[in-house]
């Protein structure tokens, strides 16, 4: 006979057991992988609805942090922010610095998801966390990983790499804490960054480490992602067979485990592979599958990319009008979702398509639209950087003023005390007065020195705002300052023998350099071009990074007959230079549009520099669509009005013989 005895449990034991239970639940939720998000969020809702009111303040805060992070990971920014706002109200009652640090990181993630990258960076920088000062491994790991991912989003690959490497120092402790998924993700990001900066072998090494860890843990979802990224390595190194095999493995694994987002990514990459390998019919079929999958997932970006790929595959099969229609459909979607970078890339493809079918007017209009968009993107990035710099300067100024007020209050207190003791301590008062005077003099000198330093910082900020950070050349703002100092309107007067010259230059097929060798190679080419162009100017002339891969050169007081030789020399210098990036030799050419200034004996007052640049830019367009690696110059006009020069497309003026141009192909002197 068995006797079942019910144990007697104290009230404190029940409390302890409940506390242990909620901590176990929270620990389980913290280990949620992206593939488990839906079920984990449902579990989070159950805990919130049934247990939230009974939890301790610390457990409530932890539950809200986990919930907000999960909703952000699922792309539901609004819900994640609602939970974060509830968390901020709760944190006013909590002193736990670790929880507050987690909340600060969460605030930065929300700013990042809203597109405020510089605000997110300021938030994380203010946290000023380091491995040595943080006693919580997961907090330190999350901090370094978040700030690294932010730099990666901002294309600041070296900064991203340095923070990911700091996070990697915590890998042994993270594995001990059963955080293998986060370690896999870290290896994956280290791999991707190294691939982006052209360190392909190092990138592959990190991806292989992640693959091994994913296989050991049976994480097929992560494994599918890693197959795609290993395919990127093979694409970068020119092994398109390896690219195809890894991408196909990712797709098959995605189908097997019913992981639609990987299926979609793999289909998109397979379509790219099929276009590159000139299997256009198969690319069309792959693009159609990707479009259907993207619409199933309501993934607008991927839908637009796949429709664009469909248009490209149709165009390359000879179905040119059908292909153009699809690319225009894709552009409409990216405009709707405001994905401006992709819009620019697609406009570039559409320009080439219209030029290929002979519709040069449409191609020209689209090229102008793309140039405006590129300028807008360039200016936005510059404005964000300047705003961040100014914000930091403002914070320094506020700290300085607070310090001054604090010292002033201290001085007033000292004076009050001295007045109360005046009758008894006359001798001491005299001494204090002398000391106070000395302090005031020292204080005034310090203020003067700080003001001088602030003035220097402001001057440096103004100077930095006129420089391109990558090449060190002047940017558009710097050129405007140069042309204002030069007094273009008054100095540009007609001369029979001498003239200034404005050149607009664009690197041919620059996108393919980035796509083939990585953004690090593209940056190297831009800096080398800047160096070569700078070698070809005098002290009173200027080279400008005009935007993206475009440069501007302004030559002063040249013999008109000599300008063509200068342009030809530049074409030859660039095309014959060996651009040696790591172990690759890159062949680079440029197309040029140029104009004499003053043009056709019209003074700078009547035809300003913006109008001259417009004509040179349109001449560049003619060089691009006449075969590239050449120059087109606007040299004289026949009975053309200033209004026509400003507002009529150059192609129309040339067609009606109102403008004469000169074409220079790349040849020896």
- DSSP-based three-state secondary structure for 133: coil
Reading phi first (left if > 0) and then psi (alpha if -120 to 50, else beta), residue 577 is in beta
Interior angle at CA 133, CA 127 and CA 134, nearest 5: 75
Tell the residue number behind the tokens 């060996």, with chain if given. Answer: 578
Helix and strand counts by DSSP (H, E) for the chain: 28, 8
| Distance from C-alpha of 410 to C-alpha of 400, rounded to nearest angstrom | 16
Q: How many CB atoms lie within 10 A of CB 343?
A: 22
Question: Which H or E run contains 544?
Answer: strand 542-547
Per the CB < 8 A criterion, the answer to whether 347 and 370 are in contact is: yes
User: Are the C-beta atoms of residues 588 and 577 closer than 8 Å to each other?
Assistant: yes
DSSP-derived secondary structure letter, 508: T
Give, for 635, the enclosing helix (H) or strand (E).
strand 630-637
CB atoms within 10 A of CB 132: 7
Q: What are the tokens at 260?
A: 């639609």
Q: State the Cα–Cα distance between residues 159 and 124, nearest whole angstrom.
A: 14
Q: Phi and psi at residue 435, in whole multiples of 5°? A: -65, -40
Distance (Å, whole) CA 216 – CA 194:
24
Eight-state DSSP code of residue 75? T
Q: Report the distance separating Cα 527 and Cα 616, nearest Å.
A: 23
Structure tokens belonging to residue 401? 């003023």
Nearest to 262 by CA among 249, 250, 248, 244: 250
Strand locations in 119-159 (E): none
Q: Write 164-169 long-range contacts (CB < 8 A, 24+).
A: 164/189, 164/190, 164/193, 165/190, 166/131, 167/140, 167/141, 169/131
How long a stretch of residues is the chain? 669
Of 22, 30, 19, 56, nearest to 136 by C-alpha is 30
Give 446's contacts (C-beta < 8 A, 6+ positions apart). Answer: none
User: Measured between alpha carbons, how far is 375 from 379 in angstroms, rounded to an integer?
Assistant: 6
Query: Which residues carry out catalysis?
Result: 549
Helix H, strand E, coil C: the string for 209-240 is: HHHHHHHHCCCHHHHHHHHHHHHHHHHHCCCH
What does the DSSP assignment read for 650-661?
HHHHHHTTSEEE
Angle between helices 117-127 and 97-113 (to 10 degrees): 170
What's the rounded Cα separation, in Å, for the pair 628 and 614?
19
> Would you give the DSSP letter of residue 474?
B
| Residues linked to residue 597 through DSSP beta bridges, in sequence order | 500
Closest CA to 221 of 193, 189, 248, 261: 261
Q: What are the tokens at 330?
A: 């894709």
Q: Among candidates 510, 504, 479, 501, which has minimal Cα distance to 619?
A: 504
Return the SS3 of 51: helix
């Amino acid at each position: 006979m068995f006797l079942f005895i019910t144990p007697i449990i104290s009230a404190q034991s029940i409390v302890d057991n409940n506390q242990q239970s909620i901590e176990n639940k929270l620990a389980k939720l913290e280990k949620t992988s992206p593939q488990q998000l839906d079920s984990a969020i449902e579990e989070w809702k159950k805990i919130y609805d049934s247990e939230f009111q009974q939890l301790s303040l610390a457990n409530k805060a932890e539950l809200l942090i986990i919930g907000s992070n999960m909703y952000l990971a699922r792309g539901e920014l609004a819900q994640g922010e609602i939970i974060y706002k509830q968390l901020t109200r709760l944190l006013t009652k909590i002193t736990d610095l670790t929880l507050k640090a987690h909340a600060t990181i969460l605030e930065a993630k929300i700013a990042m998801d809203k597109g405020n990258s510089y605000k997110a960076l300021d938030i994380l920088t203010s946290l000023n966390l380091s491995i040595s000062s943080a006693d919580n491994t997961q907090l330190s790991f999350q901090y370094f990983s978040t700030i690294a991912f932010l730099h990666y989003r901002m294309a600041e690959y070296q900064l991203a790499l340095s923070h990911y490497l700091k996070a990697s120092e915590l890998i042994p402790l993270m594995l001990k804490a059963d955080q293998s998924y986060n370690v896999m993700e870290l290896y994956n990001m280290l791999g991707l960054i190294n691939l982006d900066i052209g360190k392909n072998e190092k990138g592959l090494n990190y991806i292989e480490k992640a693959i091994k860890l994913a296989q050991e843990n049976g994480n097929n979802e992560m494994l599918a992602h890693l197959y795609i990224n290993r395919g990127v390595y093979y694409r970068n190194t020119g092994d398109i067979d390896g690219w195809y095999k890894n991408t196909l493995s990712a797709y098959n694994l995605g189908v097997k485990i019913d992981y639609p987002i990987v299926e979609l990514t793999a289909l998109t990459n397979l379509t790219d592979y099929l276009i590159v390998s000139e299997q256009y019919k198969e690319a069309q079929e792959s693009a159609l599958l990707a479009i259907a999958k993207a619409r199933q997932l309501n993934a607008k970006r991927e839908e637009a990319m796949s429709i664009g790929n469909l248009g490209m595959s149709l165009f390359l099969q000879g179905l040119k009008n059908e292909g153009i229609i699809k690319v225009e459909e894709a552009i409409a979607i990216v405009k709707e979702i405001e994905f401006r970078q992709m819009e620019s890339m697609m406009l570039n493809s559409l320009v080439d398509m219209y030029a290929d079918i002979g519709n040069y007017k449409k191609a020209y209009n689209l090229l102008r639209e793309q140039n405006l968009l590129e300028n807008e993107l360039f200016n936005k990035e510059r404005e964000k950087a300047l705003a961040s710099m100014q914000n930091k300067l403002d914070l320094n100024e506020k700290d300085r003023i607070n310090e001054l007020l604090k010292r002033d209050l201290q001085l007033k207190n000292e004076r009050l005390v001295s007045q109360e003791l005046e009758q008894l301590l006359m001798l001491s008062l005299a001494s204090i007065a002398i000391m106070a005077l000395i302090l005031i003099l020292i204080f005034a000198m310090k203020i003067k020195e700080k003001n001088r330093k602030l003035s220097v910082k402001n001057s440096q900020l103004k100077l930095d705002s006129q420089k391109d950070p990558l090449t060190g050349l002047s940017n558009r703002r710097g050129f405007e300052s140069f042309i204002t100092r030069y007094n273009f309107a008054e100095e540009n007067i007609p001369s029979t023998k001498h003239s200034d010259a404005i050149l607009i230059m664009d690197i041919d097929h620059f996108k393919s350099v980035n796509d083939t060798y990585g953004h690090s190679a593209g940056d190297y080419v831009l800096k080398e071009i800047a160096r070569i162009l700078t070698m070809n100017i005098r002290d009173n002339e200027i080279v400008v990074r005009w935007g993206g891969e475009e440069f501007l050169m302004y030559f002063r007081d040249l013999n008109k007959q000599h300008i063509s030789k200068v342009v030809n020399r530049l074409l030859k210098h660039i095309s014959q230079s060996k651009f040696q990036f790591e172990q690759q030799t890159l062949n680079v050419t440029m197309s040029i549009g140029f104009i004499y200034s003053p043009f056709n004996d019209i003074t700078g007052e009547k035809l300003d520099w913006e109008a001259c640049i417009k004509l040179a830019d349109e001449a560049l367009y003619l060089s691009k669509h006449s075969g590239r690696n050449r120059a087109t110059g606007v040299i004289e006009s026949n009975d053309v009005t200033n209004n026509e020069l400003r507002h009529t497309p150059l192609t129309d003026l040339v067609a009606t013989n109102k403008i004469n141009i000169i074409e220079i192909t790349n040849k020896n002197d």
